Chain A
């Protein structure tokens, strides 16, 4: 998610910034020094993976990997997402400064939800888990964005071809694509390095 500056109202931008600080505090709680290199390397790897462009007709899309981060980093996912967003803002100027908090929440809340769900639905195959992680992360992010837009200004939801309706239509195929991609990546990781997912037991 790269919500640009100016789209959200000052009230929403300020509130989400404060809420993101709270979420980061939760994510940082109990962190051990031996986790630091692992989180840093995984954040860097996720950031670079999210830059893989997949061509679709005349344009291309890139994965967001929020759900994947949730599965692998667990409660540290908001920290990885926050750092990833700062890197995106500084290296490529994607996203905004006033919306950094909102963007962090839009990706982190679904990631944490997926981490929680993955602990409940343990018996499903890695591909199915990965698919739902990727799919739900995008759907959750778009749903949260729609809520933030509506709180910012009701005009975002006005009319049949409203911003929110168009956004849902545009993101649905991307959510399916992200789901399939995450499904294959998780299946591969389960095959090659099954111990990786033991982070959930923290």
Chain B
């Protein structure tokens, strides 16, 4: 479990200037369209091209291969659950069609993970959260998101203190009915703390004229460079989809 906000925040060391200067909303839009574009590909070869493009993009922006490989490990267990049974579903010998289907799933997943890594690690999470506040999303959703994001770090601290207190009483954490009861009480205790805070937080916020919407700064202006980068990513993925549909399906 992370300890502080600093453990989670990307430090942006080594990220190229052009990636850092890409406006957060334009970058998010490019990532959403690119990911949905990747999902709509139907062949392993085109999924591989999309993967190759995304990796080149990530390296160009200053992210390292090792860093990307670590990100792929996050989705590895779920991908194994989704693909390994597919290979053996029709028994032995393994059919080439099943291998192809499993490969497409894996390639799409790692491509999307690469693109998400670009989105989240070429800007601070604070910048990303602020960019969401300037999208056409109901302000109440943004308010709850931003507040929850702030409170998460408060609760990280609380839960770690609770776990430390439990360990200092020789709590081993293994699965027994007694330990599950302790885990349940830890969760309940955290919720009680959060509820007690909620009342005070609401009073403090209303004293500062809170009306359900958080005030955020003005959005950064989009410039030609931002539009060019976003349109370039659209063009790449739409070109891949078009070529696949016209010549290979």
Interface on A for B, CB 8 Å cutoff? Answer: 2-10, 13-14, 24, 28, 31-34, 36-49, 51-56, 63, 65, 68, 72, 79, 82-84, 86-87, 89-94, 96-98, 153, 155-156, 158-159, 161-163, 165-167, 170, 177, 180-189, 192-193, 196
Query: How many pairs of A and B residues are in contact by the CB < 8 Å rule?
Result: 249
- Answer whether A5 and B147 are a contact pair too, CB < 8 Å, given A98-B36, A189-B188: no
Closest B residue to A127 by CB, please name it: B184
Contacts of A86 in B (CB 8 A): 145
Q: Is B43 an interface residue (CB 8 A)?
A: no
Contact of B180 among A2, A24, A92, A180 (CB under 8 A): A180
B128 engages A90 (CB within 8 Å): yes
Q: Mark B185-215 against chain A: 1 for CB-CB distance below 8 A, else 0.
A: 1111111111101100110010000111000
Contact of B143 among A36, A52, A56 (CB under 8 A): A36
A6 engages B107 (CB within 8 Å): yes
Q: Is B246 an interface residue (CB 8 A)?
A: no
Distance, CA A68 to CA B191, complexed state (A):
11
Closest B residue to A60 by CB, please name it: B173
| Residue of A13, A37, A86, A91 ringed by the most chain B CB atoms within 10 A | A37
B89 engages A49 (CB within 8 Å): no
Contacts of B101 in A (CB 8 A): 153, 155
Q: Is B149 an interface residue (CB 8 A)?
A: yes
From DSSP, what is the main secondary structure of chain A's interface residues? helix
Distance, CA A14 to CA B198, complexed state (A):
36
Interface on B for A, CB 8 Å cutoff? Answer: 1-2, 8, 31-32, 35-36, 38-40, 71, 74-75, 78-79, 81-82, 85-86, 88-91, 98, 101, 104-109, 111-113, 116-117, 120, 125, 128-129, 138, 140-141, 143-145, 147-152, 154-156, 158-159, 163, 173-175, 177, 180-181, 183-195, 197-198, 201-202, 205, 210-212
Distance, CA A4 to CA B75, complexed state (A):
7
Distance, CA A93 to CA B67, complexed state (A):
13
B194 engages A41 (CB within 8 Å): yes
- Answer whether A43 and B186 are a contact pair too, CB < 8 Å, given A4-B75, A87-B152, A184-B180: no
Distance, CA A117 to CA B163, complexed state (A):
33
- Answer whether A163 and B86 are a contact pair too, CB < 8 Å, given A94-B74, A181-B187, A184-B184: yes
Interchain nearest-CB distance for A50 vs B (Å): 9
B109 engages A5 (CB within 8 Å): yes
Closest A residue to B106 by CB, please name it: A6
